[in-house]
Amino acid sequence: MCVLLLLLPSMMLWSAGTKESGAQKADGAAVITVWDFKYGDVQGVQPAMKKIDDLIMSQNPGITIKHVGQPNDNYYQLVRAAVQAGEGPDVVMFHGGVQAYEFDDYTIAMDSYIADWRSEISEFSWAYCSESGDATKPVHMVPLTTQGFGIYYNKALFKQAGLDPEKAPADLDEFMAACEKLKKAGIVPIVAGLQGSPYTLDFLFRCFVANIYGDEVKNLGTGKQNFAGNAAFKRSAEIVKELFSKGYMDPAGTSTPYFMDAANNFAAGKGAMFIGLLSDVCHWKVFGDALGTDGVGYFPTINFPQAKYKDQQVGQPAGIGYSVMTWSKNPEAAMKVVEGYARGEGNAIWMGMTGALSPNKNVDIKSLGYPLVAEILERPFVLDFNTLLLNEDANGNFDRYCAQAFVSNEISIDKFVEVSQGMLDNVQNAR
Amino acid sequence: MYGVLGIFALMALYPLFFVLITSLKSPAEYVSNKLLMPQSPTFGNFYHVWVKGNMLRYFVNSCILIPSGLVVYLFVCITAGFAFGRLRFPHRFPLFLAVLFLMIFPQMLLSIQIFQICRKLHLVNSYLGLILVWVAYFGPFGTYIMTTYYATVPMEIVESARLDGTGVYRMLYYIMVPIAKPMIIIIVVIGTQSMWNELPFSLLLLQTEQLRTITQGLGMLQGQYGLDDTTLSASILSASLVPLLLFVFFQRQITMGSYSGAVKG
Amino acid sequence: MKSEARESYLLIAPLMLLLLVFILYPVLANVYLSFFKWKGLGKATFIGFANYRTMFKDETFWVSIKNTMVLLLYIPLGVMLPILISALLREGLKGWSIFRAIIYIPNILGYVIMGMISSIMFRKLGPLNNVLVGVGLKSLALDWLSIPKLTLNTLGLVYGVWLRLGFGCIFFLAAMSSIDESLYDAAKIDGALWWRTFWNVTVPSIRFSIEFWVVLSFIEILARAFPFIYTFSRGGPGFATFTLEYGIYNEGFVAFNMGYASTWASVLFVVCAVIACFQVALMRKNSDVQ
């Protein structure tokens, strides 16, 4: 009993708490604290980040980097808490778009720091990373990845079904015909991840929307374009329904979470096509490694008659990036850390080791050894409509609507269009 | 009769069994063999969880945090339980009811505000802060158990101690605690189980690598894209190790204690 | 006895202080916050009852109420089943203590882990269906997690009944252990069958325990279900398992509409308060703490 009572105060002293603020050491060196929701990925991302941190520290002897991984689930809660406290890490990772814009008042303007190397990243990305996504306003975030979506296919399985493995389906009719042939050959046409959040459908719609609105996608955010009353959007929903009714969607789909099971299934050759990403996971590198770099094909979207545009590659100008917080005592040092990730050797390590798609033009894509990605990047990106939505819609509600409409058939197509329009209305109401 | 019970027992054990065999499969094997015994068992998943996932650090943290929390928890529950259960003072019953009333509120309801309060009191990122929150949240139930137990302690013991001139504190220390030993073991076990598996408050209040608990570690491992079922199973088993062991060793006490409060009427 | 009173207050002070700061204040602060619009950063703007108006017009709110109601419907089963099993077990079957220990295991693992395990077990191509097909019950091997009504009812069954069965049996077995054996002997002499003895002797004798368990069940479903639901189905598919508690989480920690989340929380607060009053009334009626 006494021992325990003695233990208690010592516990209290020991756990008196740690402060997160970047500190200034006596000899003038700076400690830069970085918060990250990727660092916890011990397999894929952490080793790369450790390497890059070491590189930056060796190139900048005065800087010590303290890299803290935070759980993905309540990341923004923690960031908000830091903001409220007015103190915390120097560098914070954000998802590009709405989630970053909310913190504009608390992140520094970076234009003066990036002036030297600004041209290495496209203005398309810089605009997205500016205050509220407005290109005329200062940049608040340095992008580390761009993201995008498209359809990968297994060339060997295509061949097996009697399809030309080098030729991706050019339009809806060819796509449906290909599915039919695959089905007849006993091959699952589309490997799908539908358990929980049916991301396969979510991502497929992003590809469709790119074809429907093309460059005008950004008008979905201003109210000049809508889902309601748009015949092509309704048609795309009908197409998805058809994919289910004709049995082209993986029958095991509802038992398979998208991350990572569905991707693993595709990589293991359990189906012919997969609606995947361009960066981080479920992409060209993973599938190239599994199926052979010449065993995987790709096409950005499905062309269908009612859509005004064709072959649009949907993308996010920035997937994730780093911002420097206004309370940082060493913004120059912090920017050096950020720069170390965004360009040069650090960036090459980042892309090479983690499968991230870097927006930096200087990265030698070809040296990576995956011809597919070079091919993918030849097309310009069209903005992903998801980036225009409010957080709860972008990261939750839209998936729920897809599940209701296509997986459980709880709501009709008209209702689906209505609630999708509701998401756009929410954006207008929030202004 | 045995049949039905047997089925229930199997239903209770099967999930654990399934998690066990899944954790021994490599992700590649799991893609094709989801349901049967592993053909080529591997400890790779456990390696991933313990070595790469820093689970060892979190495990140690939990092993330090929980006993410290228990000390405070026991202190609060025993003292308050004894006071409510055996002592007489004005407003005793209404206060007791208030304690029970406050037991009901869900963590979701409290999280936002608790964070604000802890921030103002500089209790974020400190075990002290988390322990105080835990005791506030789990304390009422423990107090309730101790109260109902102490209520059954014969008045004579208290009275004779008073006649001897013993003060309340000495009475507590030398008499009341030893008497309640079986009950104390029970609330130790219940308290440990609750604190070990607790997630929302830990997530909010422990924000640095050095401080996280194993249950948080389990959450962190999930990352942005979730986890393979195989690694997930390995982490589930790792995190449940201590509660399961506790259960095996203290089985009698747990099952005895969970009904105090039931034996009335 | 004045010094006893003083000492008693001192003894309960730590608990009361903690409760005041970490439970009572947050609960009241939530109600206060529900009249504001706040995004977790910057200022909070006062908007009066606007949040409440939005909430009552919000389809998702009513869906969450409906879902919560459906879950509550599983309480009768969650009460009867443990009582029945306990009554049977107390006859003294061989190995019953082992059985009691085994069905307590889900309880030990905790809600988060059981939720994760359940989300794997109930897949259409998952272990449960595999077993069902194996024993020839193929028609029962449904898509538990993709059909909204099924998911909700599975949730009710697993969380409301199954998960708490172990604890329930232990609880009621102990309660029954204090029943006077002579009552049973009298019933036997009367020639009563098992079923009648059950209803006329066992159940009335443990009335208080049953009432307590019912209140506990309400609390568990209304205010403790979130960790399980989150790991089991994330409130889905669609909004099928979206409960009031989940709504608070979604509005507060995904959308960061703090004021709006507090509005939902106020509704939950009222419901919890009502349950708490029942519990308190129960205590009053049956206590020998008095």
pLDDT one-digit tens code per residue, C189-202: 887 787 888 888 88
B27 shares its domain with B66 = no
B91 shares its domain with B146 = yes
Distance (Å, whole) CA A293 – CA A149: 19
**Which chain B residue lies closest to C258 (C-alpha atoms)?**
B112
Task: Please count the other Cβ atoms lying within 10 Å of the Cβ belonging to residue C181.
Answer: 7
ω before A260 within 30° of 0 (cis)? yes
The answer to whether A252 contacts C124, with C-beta atoms less than 8 Å apart, is yes
Instruction: Quote the ipTM score.
Output: 0.88
Q: Which two tokens stand for residue B154?
A: 């014969």
Distance (Å, whole) CA A79 – CA A93: 10
| Range(s) of the domain holding residue B21 | 1-42
The answer to whether A252 contacts C125, with C-beta atoms less than 8 Å apart, is yes
B20 shares its domain with B68 = no
3-state secondary structure (DSSP) of residue C37: strand
Sorted by sequence, the CB contacts under 8 Å of residue A82 that are 6+ apart come out as A20, A35, A88, A89, A92, A325
Please choose, from the candidates A267, A268, A269, A285, the residue with its C-alpha nearest in 3D space to the C-alpha of residue A277: A285
3-state secondary structure (DSSP) of residue B89: coil
Model confidence at A5, in pLDDT bands (50, 70, 90)? Answer: low
- Picking from C126, C240, C251, the nearest residue to A255 by CB comes out as C126
Q: Does A3 score more than 60 pLDDT? A: no
Q: What is the DSSP letter of C45?
A: E
Distance (Å, whole) CA B180 – CA B174: 11
Say if B47 falls within a structural domain: no
Sorted by sequence, the CB contacts under 8 Å of residue A377 that are 6+ apart come out as A357, A365
Q: Using a CB-CB distance cutoff of 8 angstroms, which residues of chain B are in contact with residue C100?
A: 255
Q: Give chain A's contact residues with B (Cβ, < 8 Å).
A: 1, 4-5, 7-8, 11-12, 14-20, 37-38, 40-43, 46, 68-74, 77-78, 81, 84-85, 257, 259-261, 264-265, 268, 270, 280-281
Distance from CA of A274 to the nearest CA of C (A): 20
B110 shares its domain with B28 = no
- Picking from C39, C143, C236, the nearest residue to A196 by CB comes out as C236
Q: Using a CB-CB distance cutoff of 8 angstroms, which residues of chain A are in contact with residue C42?
A: 105
**Which chain B residue lies closest to A17 (C-alpha atoms)?**
B126
B20 shares its domain with B116 = no
Determine contact, residues A146/A359, Cβ cutoff 8 Å.
yes
B64 shares its domain with B18 = no
Q: Does A10 score more than 60 pLDDT? A: no
Strand C36-37 vs strand A313-316: parallel, antiparallel, or unpaired? unpaired
Model confidence at B154, in pLDDT bands (50, 70, 90)? Answer: confident
Say if B218 falls within a structural domain: yes
Say if B64 falls within a structural domain: yes
Q: Does B133 score more than 70 pLDDT? A: yes
The answer to whether A401 contacts C234, with C-beta atoms less than 8 Å apart, is no
Determine contact, residues A141/A335, Cβ cutoff 8 Å.
no
Please choose, from the candidates B156, B123, B140, B139, the residue with its C-alpha nearest in 3D space to the C-alpha of residue B71: B139
In chain C, domain spans = 36-286
**Which CATH number applies to C36-286: 3.90.470.20, 1.10.3430.10, 1.10.3720.10, 3.40.50.880?**
1.10.3720.10
Residue A91, φ and ψ in degrees, nearest 5? -115, 135
B27 shares its domain with B152 = no
Q: What is the percentage of chain A residues whose pLDDT exceeds 70? A: 94
Distance (Å, whole) CA B48 – CA B235: 9
Q: What was the pLDDT predicted at A20?
A: 38
Looking at the complex, does the CB of residue A259 fall below 8 Å from at least one CB of chain C?
Answer: no
Q: Does B207 score more than 80 pLDDT? A: yes
Q: Using a CB-CB distance cutoff of 8 angstroms, which residues of chain B are in contact with residue C85?
A: 5, 8
CATH (domain of B138): 1.10.3720.10
B168 shares its domain with B238 = yes
Distance (Å, whole) CA C159 – CA C165: 10
The answer to whether C105 contacts B12, with C-beta atoms less than 8 Å apart, is yes
Q: Which two tokens stand for residue A286?
A: 């993973």
Looking at the complex, does the CB of residue C41 fall below 8 Å from at least one CB of chain B?
Answer: no
The answer to whether A72 contacts B32, with C-beta atoms less than 8 Å apart, is no
Q: Does A21 score more than 60 pLDDT? A: no
How many A×C Cβ pairs under 8 Å?
82
B64 shares its domain with B193 = yes
Distance from CA of C113 to the nearest CA of B (A): 7
B198 shares its domain with B234 = yes
Q: Does B264 score more than 50 pLDDT? A: no
The answer to whether B203 contacts A73, with C-beta atoms less than 8 Å apart, is yes
Say if B10 falls within a structural domain: yes
Model confidence at B184, in pLDDT bands (50, 70, 90)? Answer: confident
B29 shares its domain with B65 = no
Q: Which two tokens stand for residue A276?
A: 């995947």
Q: What was the pLDDT predicted at B209?
A: 82
Looking at the complex, does the CB of residue A426 fall below 8 Å from at least one CB of chain C?
Answer: no
Q: How far is CA B53 from CA B59, B252, C112, in A?
A: 11, 35, 19
Q: Work out the end-to-end distance of chain A between its first and last CA atoms, rounded to an integer number of angstroms.
A: 60
Q: Using a CB-CB distance cutoff of 8 angstroms, which residues of chain A are in contact with residue C238?
A: 400-401, 403-404, 407-408, 410-411
pLDDT one-digit tens code per residue, B73-122: 999 999 999 888 888 888 888 898 889 888 888 888 888 789 889 988 98
Task: Please count the other Cβ atoms lying within 10 Å of the Cβ belonging to residue C43.
Answer: 8
Distance from CA of A259 to the nearest CA of C (A): 14
What proportions of chain B, in percent to the nearest 5, are helix, strand and coil? 75, 0, 25
- The reply to whether the predicted model has a pTM over 0.80 is yes
B184 shares its domain with B209 = yes
Q: Does C54 score more than 90 pLDDT? A: yes
